[in-house]
Amino acid sequence: MKRKSLAVEEEQYLLSDQLPEEPHVKKSAPAPSPGLGDRIRGLFKPGPPESRVITLSGDELMDKKGRPFVPNVIRNQKYNVFTFIPFCLYEQFKYFINFYYLVISLSQFVPALKVGYVFTYIAPLAFVVCLSMGKEAYDDYKRMVRDKACNSELYYRVCKNGHLKQIPSSDIKVGNIIIVETNRRVPADLLLLRTTEEAGASFLRTDQLDGETDWKLRRAVSITQKLDSNEDIFRLRGRVQTAAPEKDIYRFIGNFTVESEGAVESLSLENTMWASTVVASGQVTGLVLYTGRETRSQMNTSQPPSKVGILDKEINLLTVFLCILQVVLAFILVASSGFKGVWWLDFFLYNILFSNIIPISMKVNMDFAKLVYSFLIMADKDIPGCTVRNTSIPEELGRISYLLSDKTGTLTQNEMEFRRLNLGAISFSNDTLQEITEATIEEYNNPYGDSRKVRKKNSASVRQALTALALCHNVTPAIGEDGNVQYQASSPDEVALVKFTESVSMTLIDRTFTTMTIRNPLGQPEHFEILNVFPFTSARKRMGIIVRNRETGMIHFYMKGADVIMKKIVEASDWLDEECDRLAREGLRTLVFGQKIFTDEEYEDFARAFKDAETSLDDREGKVDRAIESIEDGLKLLGLTGVEDKLQFQVQETLESLRNAGIKIWMLTGDKRETATCIAISSKLVGRTQEIFQLEASNVAEAKAALAAYSLQLKSSETALIVDGGSLEIFFKHLEQEFFQATQHAPSVVCCRCAPDQKAQVVRMIKFYTKKQTAAIGDGGNDVSMIQAADIGIGIVGKEGRQASLASDFSVDQFSHISTLFLWHGRNSYHRSAVLSQFIIHRGSIITFIQASFSAVFFMSPVTIFTGMLLFGYSCWYTMAPVFCLITDEDASKENVHEFPELYTDLRKGRALSTRTFLTWMLLSLYQASIIGFGCVVLGADTYLKFIDLSFTALIAVLLLDVCLVFRKWNVIMIISEIGTFAAYVFCMILFRAYYDIEYISSIGFWWRILVLIVMSFIPPLASMLLYVTFSPPAYKKLEYSV
């Protein structure tokens, strides 16, 4: 009666649209603020989803209000035919440069403000906008093609008569029963009804959903798995009650009811297959529960927070300054004429004439430069597998001041290898595996023999410990594609321990949801019935399993976990603390194992209490935890294991190189203090000559005292800081600023026992107080929040899956690759973009100053000098190729930047684009424009057309030489672009005769005047640069001299 009432209660709950409050296991980062398109689309978004009852009819079902459920369509497109143009135009003109030029272009339709051909102003803007919209259209088209491919995948739907009908994924409806074959994508959220696997369970690959590479085992509903065919499903007259769709991929509550029999089966996560996962074994038959945007996969799909680089912000600030400069210049000319006539109209006309000072091509050039940098990164053979997921911030790799790194799988390989088994009286290592095997065989052969008591006791202890290691886990053996047995588990620690037991002839050979079989050292199988499994959670920090030995009937409860937790659970021991510390100092990850034996009556009492807790709708998690804790007291201590996680390739060299580059490194890990300390020393994160200060506090007063002591010690010697998660929590709540002030001069900082949200808090703290660029690197799902919080997020494709990699801006295969990523690609990208952006500003400024000089010399009126194809060609092709080729420049070789990482320091401080460099370029623009503008008058350009011919040709030639002035390492592309551009200009002089005095440009007098203007404009800046390089050479020049 009690069981039935609970089922009814749960069914009522499922239909109430309410869910018990339960934190998600994984939370996504806060979504970015919605744009205009998101707001408009939000107006048509339906209300919140509701719970549902799904009958096993196979037909399309309706919700409670009689409406069809959402279609099973994947749609990642940003636009459609109607929204593309308005949304894209909004995205383009929200940028200051584009909006500014739009206003200038529209002003040319006003007769009083017209200063030239409308085409001259419209064409460059249209070119830039169309180019950006074309790229957006291409990206959205690719998304549409991918969506169409997914929506068109064919699946078999089971009809009432048992026949199969092939339908596309987009036609799948809630209530349909479909078949998914091995290695096929699951098209919707399914309830697993039947599988061809004999055990009634199938493996599932979930890496595209949660980033974890281990296979998950999913169990079919027992009622339907027993049926002879799929056709029998419809005869059951069954129904499924489920809660409303939700984001949590680790939680599901439901009931399966057979009305004809009155049977009710409780459903959980292990009965489900979420969309975007892949069936790894068997052919499955599933009932569609949720479709389309209500699937777990789509509900968890969100765009990562947008990141804007410092360089982009600096360029935008310079653009605003140039706009102010333009207004000031126009005001000066109006004031110089004494504010005569309709002076305010002249003021507007001057602003239109000087609009070239704000470069319309800046955004296009910078965006394409970023794409080139991204391609160069991914094409680098020294960092194979590197993927750029955010092409908008490659320059920021050259300005990193802080690197925050995970430990396990990042600094270490996350490939665990068994090292120690300590049983108190005896200890074993890899060198004594034979002794373990012999002791176990002796115990199996002679369990009640007359061997000496000490030896007999040791043999029994070894057998008990090995049995616990072989059974207490979530490992499942599976046959790989090569035919060999592969162990699937969520943690490499567990695989390492199971492989260890295999090496001493205690082998796991089979596992299902309810059974486990091991082969003992005598080669005999031992069969166990799995009664309960208590998974590891970050809160409990331990896992347990209850099994029944089918041969003896004995019930064993095994538990393993972190030593800090297990010490409170197992019986008191005089050796556990000391051995745990010793293994931690060796850099080993430790686990403590315990055991308890139940009588049948004791287990039945627990099972009854546990079942009540599991089916409770009020505080289910708390009641389940309390039920488990009730049987944990008095566990017998079986042993202690030590597993080694080896350092990744060249970690020590990489950390040293980054430190020499001026990058401060923090290690954030969830491991305990001793293990973290050992890895910090072995990886040389903490130098041999550095001292270590361990900061631990339980209240604010202790935290203040510890900070004061550390600050005092830091003044006298280089001291690395190690702080635990509990202390961090106090600092974040009460002493965040004081904590940062004390640690900002630390040579290195290690945060241990650090929760995922604390890692993100550390990143945000550093960003807030330093205003400097941070990078975060990790390999697991627990690193995602840290990666997304940092200015640069780097994910490693590791043993823990691809979740960190998929959430990152840059993905690498190993930690050592970030040295090349920062020192070579980051440095080059930032240096090139800084020079490119300032040269583009120089190109716009010089033509503006020439226009100003012309207006000042001729009539003091807003008369345009360059019109039509001259102005359009100047913006789009006369100087485009050589200027853009600046992104191929190098000031140091790859070998030198690795050998001398100090070269990174100058650029990291932002010296490539600063107020000084910007003013230097503006002075150069003003000087060269003055020489060209006033020089043309002095050299006899006494007509309007001669002035245009002479000044424009000199302008093109000087700009091409200026490119040579800043280029450090010439290459074939640069040479071709320089020669080709000037040749193309000469050809255009002949082609567009209306803009040139052909007789004048064909004379010797024209060309010697051009030569004089070039010499006067270019030689003084060249001499200044040579003097500067000689007497105050930059770092890369000093390197050349030393070599």
Catalytically annotated residues:
406
Helix (H) or strand (E) holding 965: helix 944-966
User: CA-CA distance, 707 to 697, in Å (whole number)?
Assistant: 10
Classify strands 164-168 and 154-158 as parallel, antiparallel or unpaired.
antiparallel
Q: What is d(CA 818, CA 811) in angstroms, rounded to the nearest whole number? A: 10
For 586, the 3-state DSSP assignment is coil
C-beta of residue 191 within 8 angstroms of C-beta of residue 240: yes
Residues with Cβ within 8 Å of 935's Cβ and at least 6 positions away in sequence, in order, are 954, 1012, 1013, 1016, 1017
What CA–CA distance (Å, rounded) separates 795 from 211? 12
Q: Hey, CA dihedral for 620, 624, 627, 629, is it positive or negative?
A: negative
Q: Quote the Cα angle for 397-402-408, to 5°.
A: 95
User: Which residues, 6 or more positions from 704, have their beta carbon under 8 angstroms from its beta carbon?
Assistant: 735, 738
- The side-by-side arrangement of strands in the sheet containing 263-267 is 52-55, 238-242, 254-258, 263-267
> CA-to-CA distance for 924 and 1039, rounded, in angstroms?
28
β-strand pairing of 664-668 with 748-752:
parallel
The pair phi, psi for residue 600, each rounded to 5°, is -60, -40
Is the sign of the CA dihedral 480, 485, 490, 492 positive or negative?
negative
SS3 content of the chain, % helix, strand, coil (to 5): 50, 20, 30
CA distance 241 to 415: 43
- Compute how many other C-beta atoms are within 10 angstroms of the C-beta atom of residue 197: 18
Joined together, the tokens standing for residue 691 give 């001292």
Determine the residue type at 490: S
- Computed on alpha carbons and rounded to an integer, the radius of gyration of the chain in Å comes to 36
The DSSP code sequence of 917-944 is HHHHHHHHHHHHHHHHHHHHHHTT--SH
**Which residues face 507 on adjacent strands?**
519
d(CA 606, CA 159): 44
